[in-house]
Structure 1
Amino acid sequence: MKAALWYEKKDVRVEEVEEPKVTSGYVKIKVKWCGICGSDLHEYLGGPIFIPVEKPHPLTGNVAPVVLGHEFSGDVVEIGKGVTNIKVGDRVAVEPMVVCGKCPACKEGKYNLCSSLGFHGLCGSGGGFAEYTVFTEEYVHKIPDSMSYEDAALIEPIAVALHSIRQANFNTGDNALVLGCGPIGLATIECLKAAGASLIIVLQRKSIRQEYAKKAGADHVLDPNEVNIAEEVKKLTGGVGIDFAFDTTGAKIGFDIGIDSLKYAGTMVITSIWEGEVNFNPNVLVFSEKKIVGSLAYRHEFPATIAQMSDGRIKTEGYVTKKIALDDIVEEGFGTLTGPDKKKHVKILVTPDKSLLSDCKE
């Protein structure tokens, strides 16, 4: 079968690989759609970050090259011995967590903080940029008949945003600043709307993404090249500052503006993955009791995300800006998202089945 493999930074290849076999407790999935994630882009431009290179991953035992892709949907075509909750023919999405189940974090139910954490599509256990993949039954979720496979491929990034809002301890009526409106930023706006935010302000430089943010529900979209964001945020909040800031930029400008925009005792949640370090003076936290909270992936959020997407509380219109074949992932996928047109796009979906592209409307 065909699959897209990461060999090293800026080296992704579509190659023929052996079709995976089902083992006990696992299910085999024929992939319909898989999204290109910001994490995939970080690995492409600056990796390895999560991908094991010299030292094998402790759970998979694998090193690069690895099959990429962790935001995907498909059909179950085979089940292994002992599988009871999933059957052949089920329409599913995968929560791509590769965890040990034995460490203190896993035993507390915080499996996203597993001491041996890996992600399907990054750690060598297979991935969604392939015709088929296999994964443990525990993290395979059925999707409603009313949900399209394209929407199901968006469950994973939206769950990332939902987890960040839960990490913030966000309450109905609170206000928020979202730093950046790529896929996770836009998902964060949607989740904040569903959570009952009273005011949503977004930082985004001038591009089509400003319009995407407005369509997603942002009340104000501010360009840091045109205004002092922190000052504008204070004006919009009666001189107080924002309750919560959500950084999805992974850049110092987002970090600094987020902290400066917070009210006293406000909280900044960092959802972004960083390729380098950032410096700041801890006094900005001490003197006003502001907080910085990390948010990694998700845990137990897939069912809630599926429910809120299904009943329309979280919308996906306009989220997918391009659909491509697996054969074209390097040029049309990674090339587009790292090239001059990158800010025109939110989410690019990839399919190993070219027949699905005949019905696509980009």
Structure 2
Amino acid sequence: MAQDNLTAVLYKTKDLRLEQTPIPEIKDDEVLLRMDCVGICGSDVHYWQSGACGHFVLKDPMIMGHEASGVVAKIGKNVKNLQVGDRVAIEPGVPCRYCEFCKTGRYHLCPDIEFCATPPFHGNLARYYKHAADFCYKLPDHVSMEEGALLEPLSVGIHACRRGGVTAGDVVLVLGAGPIGLVTMLAAKAMGASKILITDILESRLETAKQLGADHTILVSRDSNEAELVKKVHELLGEHPNISIDASGAQSTVRLALLATKSGGVAVLVGMGSSELTLPLAGAVAREVDIRGIFRYVNEYPIALSLVASGKINVKPLVTHHFALEETLEAYEVARKGLGIKVMIHVQPRDSNNPTKF
């Protein structure tokens, strides 16, 4: 096995370095992976620029990366579900499997979950990375490594839609057309939503949303009138959305979600913004609008893989930029500037593990 294990390590705020690290030794229930694709998430940029994301704070050097796919290079003696050479998507959070949350099927809330590139746990932006075998999902031959990496953000969107109860005929408002907002829109459409309206502050993102199937879009600005926006949402949809999903985290979009949602409907909050917000709760409570938060995803990776493999969801257009591992700093700069949608880092030569050109 090659000894090159070039790795992207964040030492402190704005100090991201590429350096050699030891190739991990695996346990009996783990696999060693030759990493292939690693996408850059908004949380990655937060850690890089500010040293924190929400209440997770960087205190020690941390290997970056959690949206990823790779190829099995070695298996532990107890591993039965994978073989050397299998191409896999990596669900980045491994729970304890023993606590109340794990035993009741809500393992994403496990207090001892080890989640890639979330302090104090290392990520997978490296040549080699080890992971629990049962949290690796074999990719069908026709699914690309890029699609495998994108199962991570797609699972967030699916979880948001499931928390909101999206089903056939629902009218859905999505606030924010960044990567998470777009995958949420794709998931809602796949789950049968009849009409979807999506908002954003960038026209380019709304154009992408239209190409991906949004029925209506609204361009908002910092000085947009809240009451007029609510009215416009209702006019464009021809009715009130019964499910609103905020994928921004900004106070203005959370407020719009609560104000625009149909009485008796559901508002799902995905975006992580300020720890405290000023919201019109009295009106939402009086109209029995359910407010539900989400945290990552749970049991959704197999669903995401099924939707992508069957062609019901096409995530390929989301990848707008490609970089080699050696170009990681440049890739992070592109992500920081908000250029394009999803920035993909190729740890191995691009398409080297794809059955056909991506």
State TM-score, norm by structure 1.
Answer: 0.90
Tell me the amino acid that sits aligned with residue 74 of structure 1. G
Q: Percent identity?
A: 33
| 1:335 aligned onto 2:333 | yes
Residue aligning to 2:293:
294
Aligned residue in 2 for 1:249: 248
Show the counterpart of 1:35.
39
How far has the Cα of 1:261 moved from its partner?
1.0
The answer on whether the counterparts of 1:267 and 1:293 sit within 8 Å (CA) in structure 2 is yes
**Structure 1 ranges of 4+ moved more than 6 A:** 359-362
RMSD: 2.1
- 1:18-167 correspondence runs (5 A): 18-49=22-53, 51=56, 53-54=58-59, 64-167=60-163
Tell me whether 259-268 or 272-281 shows the greater mean CA deviation: 272-281
Alignment of 1:298-313 (within 5 A): 298-313=297-312
SS at match of 1:242: coil
Alpha-carbon displacement from aligned partner over 1:74-102 (angstroms, at most 9, x marks no partner): 11010112111111111101111131222
- Distance of 2:217 and 2:286 partners within structure 1: 29
Unaligned runs of 5+ in 2: none
CA contact under 8 A between 1:67 and 1:124: conserved in structure 2?
A: no
Mark the CA change 1:80 to 1:317 in structure 2 (over 3 Å): closer, same or farther. Answer: closer
What is the TM-score with the length of structure 2 in the denominator? 0.91
- Distance change (3 Å), C-alpha of 1:275 and 1:283: closer
Aligned partner of 1:183 in structure 2 is: 179
Per the TM alignment, residue 48 of structure 1 is displaced from its structure 2 partner at its CA by 2.1
In 2, distance between residues paired with 1:130 and 1:317?
23
CA deviations on 1:195-223 (whole Å, 9 max, x unpaired) are 11111001112331111110111111101
| 2-structure distance, mates of 1:286, 1:19 | 53
The verdict on how the C-alpha distance between 1:138 and 1:317 changes in structure 2, with shifts beyond 3 A counting, is closer
Q: Which residue number corresponds to residue 232 of structure 1?
A: 232
Change (3 A) 1:30 1:51: farther
The yes-or-no answer on 1:350 pairing with 2:348 is no
Q: Who is 2:12 aligned against?
A: 8
Whether the 8 Å contact between 1:223 and 1:229 is mirrored in structure 2 is no
Aligned partners of 1:176, 1:103: CA distance in 2, in Å?
A: 35
Deviations 1:53-87 (A, max 9, x none): 45xxxxxxxxx211111111111010112111111
Aligned length: 347
CA distance, structure 2, for counterparts of residue 270 and residue 10 of structure 1: 29
Deviation at 1:319, TM superposition (A): 0.8
* Deviation at residue 34 of structure 1 after TM alignment: 0.6
Q: 1:124 to 1:24 in 2, by over 3 A?
A: farther
Q: How do 1:249-288 and structure 2 match up within 5 A? A: 249-288=248-287
Where do 5+ consecutive residues of structure 1 fail to align? 55-63
